[in-house]
Structure 1
Amino acid sequence: MAHNPQQLLPHLVEQALDLCSADSAGISVLDGPVFRWTALHGKLEVFDGETTPRHDSPCGVCLDQEGALLMRNPERVYDWIRKANITVPEVLLVPLPIDGGQSLGTLWVVAKEGDEFNAGHMETLTHLAAFAGTALRMLKADEKLKQALEEQETLTREMNHRISNIFAINNSILGLSARLAESKDDLVEVLRGRFGALADAHGLVRRSFHPSIKPQGVDLAQLVEKILKPYFVPTLKGQSIQLGENTTNSMALMLHELATNAVKYGALSVEGGELHIDWKCKDDQLILNWQEDRGPTVVQPTRSGFGSKLIANTLRSLQGTINYDWSAEGLRAQLIVPLKNLER
């Protein structure tokens, strides 16, 4: 039995059929709100794999009273039996014992005619049900082990994927930063800020490695507040928008670059400077506005630095765009990204 618990169930049902001289026999396994018929033998074998209601069936009554149940002509009480054109002169059911006294199903036999089953049949069925319950417990343990191994494999693949992404992002940042840095100190400062933004974004992502659980997104407002907190508390206005993990990293880098520029040259470089950020969804697109006010006079740069290139490259991967307005009152920037790409 230890090696083939799955094969034991049909054998036990067959034994119940023969020892009780029954017309049909089977096992009903509790599966949420229903029982699932399995290992059926006899005339009802054609219904193997079908389901019956948990709270409107002889099996349900058997579990509720936690003991053997003898019932005659249940089709008179339960419409689903009658509608299936099943005639049950007499049925004897016993619960399948599982750990802690809980029962997850029943073993049952149907008589050829009425008044066939007696106390001896009940005792026989109870012994067989004990073995069937052990087999079911072993099967459930195997299922849990298999699920754990699958989750571990999923975790390994996911971690490999994320590590590869981190290396790719860091390699890109290092390459471009090194080419544009004026000194080693400048390079260290730039990299510290950019890697810090990635770390902040990484900390917001709520991960689950269970196959059936969808990863939770990061709210855009939460991300904006997290990235800009070291510099300024901006005025935010916009609806709740969930970002996928990759998009969270991308948005973090872009917001960090805009904030760094504002601290060095824009509204956040002077006392009294203001920053307003708002966003909305329109025509299946996210439109995010970055508006600086009360800062020094803004002059459009003559060449694109790393920050501008990083923002452009990041938006390109999201099929988005950015428009700059180098107004004398302060920089205005508008990011536009298709909503469908925010879930990545």
Structure 2
Amino acid sequence: MRSHIQLPEPIATVFITEQLADRVAAAPDFLREKLAIQNLAEVMSDHPDEVLAHLVKLGMEICGAHSAGISIFEPEARRFRWHALAGELATFEGATTPRNFSPCGVCLDLAEPILMERPERAYDWIREAGITVPEVLLVPLTVKGADAIGTLWLVAADAGHFNKEHARVMAELAAFAGVALRMIQTEQRLNLALQQQETLTREMSHRIKNLFTVADSMVRMTARSAASKEDLAEILSGRLHALAQANALIRRSFGTDVSAVASFGDLIARILRPHEQGQAALSGPDLAIGEQATNQLALVFHELATNAAKYGALNCDRGSLTISWAVTADAVDIVWNEKGASSVKAPSETGFGTKLVETTIGRIGGKIDREWSTDGLRVRISLPLSALRN
């Protein structure tokens, strides 16, 4: 068995899985097992979100445990999160434990039921939480052909309680519940994908409308300053190409082809390139940004630039735009300041573009404030530095 592999001290001291085979066990009750699986199947069919709670309840009844719960592995965070806790440890619902330093981690590594005695002797986080565990039986939640997605664990009130029949029955129930849990997770991912698709559709519709509006504004502004039709064609072609480059900076999170931008200043310059560059002034220190931040900030400032070209300072000859930023210990403060616009006023209702900007800023832990005046719009944005490094 894989449980005979060498474990480091002091984990080896609390690992007593081999004792399961030596303990006296009652004869298998196959009828009870069949009824338990039928019960889980009914719950999975009618109330799939209650499968974990029913599995824990069945485990406590069959094994006579005083506490039980499910630990679901969260790969990105490399941790387990406790769900459906029952019994004396129910108050720890939602707690997290480390993947590489926990009984659940050992259970997943061995991919089989394990037994530990007073694991708080080996794991300081259990001891520091004030939890006493005389004995704990852990069973992996497995799905055929895939990695285990977590563990079912049961705590006994006294040492020497669990036996091999407990481990066998719970392994069978956990395998069945693992399939159910995988189905639930798949449905959740599908629903999230559908929501993302709906958001993307609305966003693309919004951006296409903006592109036509900005292109129309470019034609009109270029026509006023061009000396000839050849001059008009050359200038307008350059601006349309720049507009395409700025628009290409925006990628959805499920895309991998994100344009590399050396700094925040480079990003803003590229976004403003399609517009009258002489109207914009940028000032601020070098500020490196990562790919994810590039995507998010490109969306935000592309929206601000589009609105300025449609309604604000970039839509009139005497308009001007200043973008400045300053870096503090843990944040960057950005000011977008438009002047010289004609009859600017706050919109009567919040449009999709405004909601998109606010949602994006909020998603990365930032804040945004707008000040409207007859001369133009002033926007203040504060972002955590940690978000810009992603």
CA distance in 2, matches of 1:142, 1:99: 18
* Deviating more after overlay: 5-14 vs 153-162: 153-162
Residue matched to 2:202: 157
> Secondary structure of the equivalent of 1:117?
coil
Residue matched to 1:197: 239
Residue matched to 1:26: 69
Given that residues 24 and 109 in structure 1 are in contact (C-alpha distance below 8 angstroms), is that contact kept between their aligned partners in structure 2?
Answer: yes
**Alignment partner for residue 217 of structure 2, among 169, 172, 182?**
172
CA distance in 1, matches of 2:215, 2:241: 12
* Deviating more after overlay: 201-210 vs 13-22: 201-210
Given that residues 99 and 105 in structure 2 are in contact (C-alpha distance below 8 angstroms), is that contact kept between their aligned partners in structure 1?
Answer: yes
Residue matched to 2:135: 90
CA displacement 1:8-40 (0-9 Å, x = unmatched): 110111000101111111111112322111001
CA displacement 1:44-103 (0-9 Å, x = unmatched): 111111111211111111111111101111112111112222111111111110352411
> Secondary structure of the equivalent of 2:249?
coil
TM-superposed CA distance for 1:127, in Å, is 1.3
Distance verdict in 2 for CA 1:98–1:193, change over 3 Å: farther
Distance verdict in 2 for CA 1:210–1:64, change over 3 Å: same
Distance verdict in 2 for CA 1:176–1:55, change over 3 Å: closer
Equivalent pairs counted in the alignment come to 258
**Alignment partner for residue 250 of structure 1, among 258, 272, 289?**
272
> Secondary structure of the equivalent of 1:113?
coil
Distance verdict in 2 for CA 1:70–1:152, change over 3 Å: same
CA distance in 2, matches of 1:27, 1:116: 20
TM-superposed CA distance for 1:121, in Å, is 0.4
Read off the aligned partner of 2:253 and give its amino acid letter.
H
Residue matched to 2:150: 105
TM-superposed CA distance for 1:41, in Å, is 1.0
CA distance in 1, matches of 2:236, 2:262: 20
> Secondary structure of the equivalent of 1:61?
helix
CA distance in 1, matches of 2:270, 2:189: 33
Residue matched to 1:325: none
CA distance in 2, matches of 1:164, 1:96: 49
Given that residues 250 and 314 in structure 1 are in contact (C-alpha distance below 8 angstroms), is that contact kept between their aligned partners in structure 2?
Answer: no
CA displacement 1:223-276 (0-9 Å, x = unmatched): xxxxxxxxxxxxxxxxx83324xx635323435x99xxxxxxxxxxxxxxxxxx
TM-superposed CA distance for 1:191, in Å, is 4.5
Read off the aligned partner of 1:250 and give its amino acid letter.
L
CA distance in 2, matches of 1:38, 1:105: 10
CA distance in 1, matches of 2:115, 2:48: 28
CA distance in 1, matches of 2:322, 2:139: 65
Read off the aligned partner of 1:66 and give its amino acid letter.
A
Given that residues 223 and 232 in structure 2 are in contact (C-alpha distance below 8 angstroms), is that contact kept between their aligned partners in structure 1?
Answer: no
CA distance in 2, matches of 1:134, 1:113: 32
Residue matched to 1:55: 100
Given that residues 151 and 209 in structure 1 are in contact (C-alpha distance below 8 angstroms), is that contact kept between their aligned partners in structure 2?
Answer: no
TM-superposed CA distance for 1:145, in Å, is 1.1
Distance verdict in 2 for CA 1:212–1:132, change over 3 Å: farther
CA distance in 2, matches of 1:309, 1:158: 23
TM-superposed CA distance for 1:142, in Å, is 1.9
Alignment of 1:1-344 (within 5 A): 1-31=44-74, 32-176=77-221, 186-187=228-229, 190-191=232-233, 193-203=235-245, 205-210=248-253, 241-244=265-268, 248-254=270-276, 281=283, 312-313=318-319, 315=321, 319=337
Distance verdict in 2 for CA 1:33–1:91, change over 3 Å: same
Distance verdict in 2 for CA 1:242–1:217, change over 3 Å: farther
* Deviating more after overlay: 310-319 vs 123-132: 310-319
> Secondary structure of the equivalent of 2:273?
helix
CA distance in 2, matches of 1:25, 1:212: 41
TM-superposed CA distance for 1:175, in Å, is 3.7
- Give unmatched runs, 5+ long, in structure 2: 1-43, 287-313, 324-335, 341-377, 384-390
Distance verdict in 2 for CA 1:60–1:177, change over 3 Å: closer
Given that residues 254 and 310 in structure 1 are in contact (C-alpha distance below 8 angstroms), is that contact kept between their aligned partners in structure 2?
Answer: no
CA distance in 2, matches of 1:172, 1:78: 66
Given that residues 69 and 152 in structure 2 are in contact (C-alpha distance below 8 angstroms), is that contact kept between their aligned partners in structure 1?
Answer: yes
Distance verdict in 2 for CA 1:212–1:13, change over 3 Å: farther
Q: Which structure has the larger Rg over C-alpha atoms? A: 1
TM-score after normalising by structure 1:
0.63
> Secondary structure of the equivalent of 1:154?
helix
Given that residues 25 and 109 in structure 1 are in contact (C-alpha distance below 8 angstroms), is that contact kept between their aligned partners in structure 2?
Answer: yes
> Secondary structure of the equivalent of 1:56?
coil
CA distance in 2, matches of 1:93, 1:4: 25
CA displacement 1:203-233 (0-9 Å, x = unmatched): 35332222899x767569xxxxxxxxxxxxx
